[in-house]
Amino acid sequence: MAKARVVHYINQFFAGIGGEEKADIKPQVLSDLPPISVQLNKLLGEDAEIVSCVVCGDSYFNENLDQAKTEVLALIKTTNPEFVIAGPAFNAGRYGMACGTVVQMVEKELSIKAITAMYEENPGVDVFKKDILIVRTSDSAAGMRKALPAVAKFALKCIAGETLLEPDVEGYIPRGLRVNAFTEERGSMRAVRMLVQKLKGETFKTEYPMPAFDRVPANPAVADITKAKIAIVTSGGIVPKHNPDRIESSSASKYGKYSIAGFDAISEADHETAHGGYDPVYANLDPNRVIPVDVLRDMEKSGEIGSLFDYFYTTVGNGTSVANSVKYAAEIAKDLLANNVDAVILTST
Amino acid sequence: MRLEIGNIMIKDIQFASKTEVKASTLYIDKDALISAVSGDDRLKSIDVELVRPGESVRITPVKDVVEPRVKVSGGGGIFPGFLSKVDTVGEGRTHVLKGAAVVTTGKIVGFQEGIVDMTGPGADYTPFSKTLNVVVIAEPKEGIKQHEHEEAVRMVGFKAAKYLGEAGRDVEPDSVDVYETKPIFESAQTYPNLPKVAYVYMLQTQGLLHDTYVYGVDAKKIIPTLLYPTEVMDGAVVSGNCVSACDKNPTYVHLNNPVIHDLYKLHGVEYNFVGVIITNENVYLADKERSSNWTAKLAEYLGLDGVIISEEGFGNPDTDLIMNCKKITAKGIKTVILTDEYAGRDGASQSLADSDPSGDACVTGGNANMTIVLPKLDRLIGHVEVVDVIAGGFDGSLRADGSIEVEIQAITGATSEVGFNKMTAKTY
């Protein structure tokens, strides 16, 4: 049997072209396979072969979505593949979005099977997991040694058209599809056993995890905004120039609380963004675009709001886990209350 | 309260000139049976057919399934409040024709009646493909109201089960199972070191052909109360439902309630199973609030450490399930909930209409929206044209070649929420 023809889609970084400064490169086919594709090709062995590697800058892809999709699709199509592998994207958000888009588009437009690989908290997972198969990886490229063999093994299984077992067994991220299965024991006995485990304080495995949304009901409208003390909280990464507390550009392990007392507006001279998940140019040129200090000062002067709180709170939302976000929010909320803040403007990017 | 269940194993059913059990065969005098269940002038005709596992037979629309039982000793009689006086049941001895079942069918009553296939892929999904079925076909007179139709057919099913059960009165059972639940204080003294558990048994009472009866009382009109588990085995709780076939509890399932039977299995070993709290699933918010308050109050009053809560139906009753779970958990009592899922035909939707983190221990009967193609079978009993309109069916369900495509929702007992079936769902 001839080897299955596979196209590998990656971003500028994994192609060895460059980092953020090259994130705007247009879709192209690499004449020589980059090391990551060579390695993946080796792992695919006798049954499949990477026939081409398509590269696109993450910024270009996400900012020119329609055009990028058309261009990437055309490049993939020229080599007439039977399968497409995108990534792994680990926890890179824009790369994950691109990989998810490519896989979905290839399956829909070309009717070719495709897979990608990501860390479970990559924003691309939330957006695409229902529709596509995503191999589970660690959160950074340091996990490459484990990720590539897993991707290759899973790809071969898909290419062969084998029936996929449960996600935990196969190592892919559940699509959230409920599939019926017959069991050894009837439901009532399973319930009795689960109750015994629960009574004993043992671990038990629910058969249907309740969708538990962390719903936060919105507060009632501020009664009199002209008397209210208002604070700014952001996940957009705005920090004093040179990022004194070294808040990480991704997967932030902390948040900062910084004074804006005496600032009529913030500027390029005194503030910048620490966020590594978006093009920082416009945020750095005018940080008020992320936290609207300038407008709020105007409103404070004209009496439209009571006052602007002397401090703002900031972290980087990029790749930051839900658990950490919840922790920061709880601490920030406590501090806001202690300072008699009446209302908060939350900004993201 | 102590009940002996004498199981008379039935391995075949045959028409004969006399109704009796001989050498594990149930012989049925067809005319006598029909005469025993007749007399309701709302019914035009009654006929009986016999169906065995593996035969190429499809029965639809199935209204109820009932197990033939007879009260041999102890107070009261089978189906109190309907066919017997309202004496308290659950004590003494009851004989069961194990392996036999009465299945009622005829012109459709509501939209939510089921399919039982005795062979093929559909047979895997219904427990009643494994029973020897005495199918009673009751056709209504023109012009009777649906609720009258429902009641008439319901009574025919009970009468048939009682009539056949009588044949087992003097037969030596093949096995005798003993179930005993002591009064609460005595029970607590017997097992001072075991956690106390109970079963919160939610009964379908949304009304308008969605009803369940307790000792003859419409369960819409009860406030949650206590039963000895064995009362259920003598027919204290019966179905009057035309709810989706997959997850309603036919009377057969009430009689054999698997949660009760399985809780007895580890009673005195892992826990002390002290009793059953029955509650309802009314549609008014005040009723939902009151009933869930009461289940939680009774659970606390009994000093329980844990409960299993089973739902009947879906959608609206999901809120009752979650309210029960939430309020009982809030009393510091461990809960396990039993339900099924409506996750869409693709399985991608949220499965329940309500949820709460307290429902962290959930057993599911599977996704009722899954579709299945049931091939044409040789013999049809009932009215197959209804598959286009029964719950789980859709326009075009009945195909020209005689096969049908339906959601398993339409199959009687497929996703049982008391865990009578061996199905679950997994996340892929």
Task: Verify whether the Cβ–Cβ distance B197 to A199 is below 8 Å.
Answer: yes
Q: What is the pLDDT of residue B208?
A: 77
pLDDT of residue A251: 67
pLDDT, tens digit, 9 for 90 and up, residues B5-58: 999 999 999 999 999 999 999 999 999 999 999 999 999 999 999 999 999 999
Q: Which residues of A touch B348 (CB under 8 A)?
A: 130, 175-178
Identify whether A88 is preceded by a cis peptide bond (ω within 30 of 0).
yes
On the 0-12 / 13-18 / 19+ scale of CB atoms within 10 A, B15 is middle
CA distance A183 to chain B (A): 5
Using only C-alpha atoms, what is the Rg of chain B?
Answer: 21
- The listed range with the strongest mean pLDDT (A129-133, A283-287, B263-267) is B263-267
Cβ of B424 within 8 Å of Cβ of A190? The answer is yes
Q: Is B362 one of the annotated active-site residues of the chain?
A: no
Residue with tokens 């079978």: B377
Which of A130, A178, A198 has the CB atom closest to B361's CB atom? A198
Residues of chain A with CATH 3.40.50.2300: 4-170
**Cβ within 8 Å of residue B22, ≥6 positions away:** none
To probe the interface with A, which of B262, B319, B418 has the most A CB atoms within 10 Å? B262
Check residue A110 and report its DSSP letter: I
Give the residue with greater pLDDT, A328 vs B244: A328
| Separation between Cα atoms, residue A299 and residue A315, nearest integer Å | 25
**Kind and range of the H or E run holding B36:** helix B30-37
Is B427 within a domain?
no
CB A133 within 8 A of CB A115: yes
Least CB–CB distance from A183: residue in B335, B339, B424 = B424
The boundaries of the domain holding residue B168 are: 2-410
Q: Inter-chain contact B361–A195, Cβ cutoff 8 Å?
A: yes
What does the pLDDT read at residue B111? Answer: 64
Residue A321: its pLDDT value, please?
A: 63
Q: How far is A279 from chain B (nearest CA, A)?
A: 35
Q: Closest by alpha carbon to B82, among B211, B183, B185?
A: B211
Task: With CB atoms and an 8 Å threshold, state whether B334 touches A167.
Answer: no
Query: How high is the pLDDT of residue B376?
Result: 94
Distance (Å, whole) CA A204 – CA B3 = 33
- Residues of chain A with Cβ-Cβ distance to B306 below 8 Å are 195, 198-199
Contact B419 A187 (CB under 8 A): yes
Distance, in angstroms, between B62 CA and closest chain A CA?
Answer: 23
Nearest to B157 by CA among B106, B195, B202: B106
Q: CB B363 to CB A180 under 8 A?
A: no
Residues 282-301 of B with CB under 8 A from A: none
Q: Say if residues B341 and A178 touch (Cβ distance below 8 Å).
A: yes
| Interface list for A 189-228 with B (CB within 8 A) | 189-192, 194-196, 198-199, 204, 206-212
For chain B, what percent of residues have pLDDT higher than 90? 84
| In the block, residue with structure tokens 């929420």 | B417
Q: What is the pLDDT of residues B156-184, one digit of tens each?
A: 999 999 999 999 999 999 999 999 999 99
For residue B357, give how far its alpha carbon lies from the nearest alpha carbon of chain A (Å).
6
User: Which 8-state DSSP code applies to residue A183?
Assistant: -
Condensed to tens digits (0 to 9), the pLDDT of residues B289-348 reads 999 999 999 999 999 999 999 999 988 899 999 999 999 999 999 999 999 998 888 888
| pLDDT over 80 at B286, yes or no | yes
The C-alpha of A165 sits at a distance from chain B's nearest C-alpha, in angstroms, of: 8
Mean pLDDT, rounded, for B349-373: 91
Nearest to B365 among A187, A189, A196 (CB): A187
Interface of A with B in 140-169 (CB under 8 A): 164, 166-167
The answer to whether residues A59 and A95 touch, using CB atoms and an 8 Å cutoff, is no
Does domain A4-170 match CATH 3.40.50.10310? no
Q: What is the pLDDT of residues B369-419, one digit of tens each?
A: 899 999 999 999 998 877 776 677 777 788 888 899 988 999 999 999 999
pLDDT interval class at A130 (50, 70, 90): confident
Residue B42 in domain = yes
Nearest CB to B363: which of A175, A187, A211? A187
Kindly state whether residue B87 falls inside one of the protein's structural domains: yes
Chain B partners of A189 at a C-beta cutoff of 8 Å?
Answer: 258, 262, 265, 419
Q: CB neighbours (10 Å) of residue B244?
A: 28
* Smallest CA–CA distance from A189 into chain B, residue: B262
Residues on chain B touching A206 (C-beta within 8 angstroms):
360-362
Q: Does residue B426 lie within any of the structural domains?
A: no
Chain A residues whose beta carbon lies within 8 Å of the beta carbon of residue B338:
187-188, 191
The per-residue pLDDT for range B53-104, each reduced to its tens digit, is: 999 999 999 999 999 999 999 999 999 999 999 999 999 999 999 999 999 9
The alpha carbon of residue A132 is apart from the nearest alpha carbon of chain B, in Å, by 12
List the single best residue of A133, A188, A196 to mutate versus B (max B Cβ within 10 A): A188
Amino acid symbol at B356:
D
CA atoms within 13 A on the CB side of A27: 22
pLDDT band for position A320 (50/70/90)? low
Q: Is the pLDDT of residue A213 over 60?
A: no
The interaxial angle of helices A144-159 and A35-44, nearest 10 deg, is 50
Average pLDDT over chain B, rounded to an integer: 94
Using pLDDT thresholds of 50, 70 and 90, give the confidence band for residue A212. Answer: low
* Binary contact (B339, A208; C-beta < 8 A): yes
For residue B362, what is the nearest residue in chain A, using CA coordinates?
A206
Residue bearing tokens 């002996």: B4
Domain count, chain B: 1
Whether B419 maps to a domain, the answer reads: no
ipTM value greater than 0.90 = yes
| Cβ distance of A211 and B350 shorter than 8 Å | yes
* Confidence at residue A33, expressed as pLDDT on a 0 to 100 scale: 95
Q: Smallest CA–CA separation between B76 and chain A, in Å?
A: 29
| Confidence at residue B344, expressed as pLDDT on a 0 to 100 scale | 83
Q: Test B356 with A210 for CB contact under 8 angstroms.
A: yes
d(CA B199, CA B308): 5
Q: For chain A, what is the mean pLDDT?
A: 92
pLDDT of amino acid B247: 93
Helix or strand or coil: residue B20?
A: strand
pLDDT per residue as tens digits for the range A189-204 = 999 999 999 999 999 9
Contact assessment for residue B368 and residue B407, using Cβ atoms and an 8 Å cutoff: yes
- Nearest 5°: the CA angle B260, B104, B26 is 75
CB contact under 8 A, A178 and B263: no
Q: 195-234 in B: which are within 8 Å (CB) of A?
A: 195, 197
Hey, how many other C-beta atoms are within 10 angstroms of the C-beta on A264?
A: 12
Condensed to tens digits (0 to 9), the pLDDT of residues B297-312 reads 999 999 999 999 999 9
A32 touches chain B (CB under 8 A): no
Apex CA A191: angle with CA A190 and CA A197, to 5°?
90
- Predicted local confidence at residue B353, as pLDDT: 82
